Amino acid sequence: MSDMIQIARREVKMGFRNPWAYSFLILFCTFSLSLLLLNSQNLVEGYSGTTGSMLNLILYLLPLMTLFLGSFSLTSEKEDGSWQLLSTYPIGTMSFIVGKYLGLSIVLITIVAFGYGLMGVISGVIGNPLDAVTYLLFLAFSCGLVLLFLTLALFIGSLSRNRWQALTISVTVWFFAVIGWPTLLLSVLGLMPYLWVKPLLIILTLINPAELVRLFVVIKLGGGSILGPEYYRWVEWVQQPSGSWIFIGICLFWIAFSVLAVYAIWERGRSHG
């Protein structure tokens, strides 16, 4: 436990010294203020065309930011020789991976919280406060994207030999998970028999963190009716009183499974030198 905490503290220090983190902080703050401008023109409450556009904008920025920072953190350990040095100490691989995840989560969520905090303060000062429920759902949406995509970032960093390779894989994953997902989903489901559509839709949604978090927040905002009959069961369980806890459980399982996969890759590399 102490090793994990030390790795997390080290990662937080390195994260806040990283110029990339401050670049993304400035970008996200600028983005948050643009959302505030949208709120001044239209009431942002529940699901509407405005909130849908805001969700899509967040979906474009945060996963890419998380993939870059997370994958670069692990590949830098390989390139700089830090992992070779750390592996000579009695530090468990799981402590290293979990410490990395916790430290990076703190850095990224701090960036997100600062952006939303700035937006909330300015909206209060100018007398145009955001709807509290919508505001909290947007914050939850952003944190969910960060926590889930960070596990993908660690997986990419584990497989990549250098930053350029991590950059290429990160952009590819981001493109297929965010930009190309609707086209990919329609093309795959169009080839399947009708009875396979709903089960396959559930599986594909669960393996894409961007789609998983987006559907949950859209339904919570009251936009479940736009999703179509294929998502009726999703709307049903998300709107239940226990829906949020079920979603949190799915996310925790997603994170735990991904961390175990990253651990297996690093442990295999450690045992083989």
**What tens digit of pLDDT does each residue of 250-271 get?**
899 989 998 898 888 877 766 5
Q: DSSP characters for 238-257?
A: HTSTTHHHHHHHHHHHHHHH
Q: Is the pLDDT of residue 193 over 70?
A: yes
224 φ/ψ angles, rounded to the nearest 5 degrees = -60, -25
Alpha-carbon distances, residue 61 vs 35, 190, 193, 270 (angstroms): 13, 29, 35, 34
pLDDT tens digits, one per residue of 108-118: 998 888 888 87
Question: Interior CA angle at 87 toward 21 and 13, to 5°?
Answer: 25
What pLDDT is attached to residue 151? 92
Alpha-carbon distances, residue 203 vs 155, 197, 214, 238 (angstroms): 20, 10, 15, 17
DSSP 175: I
Smallest CA-to-CA distance from 58 within 22, 27, 86 is with 27
Residue-averaged pLDDT of the chain: 80
pLDDT tens digits, one per residue of 201-221: 888 888 888 888 888 888 877
Helix (H) or strand (E) holding 134: helix 132-159
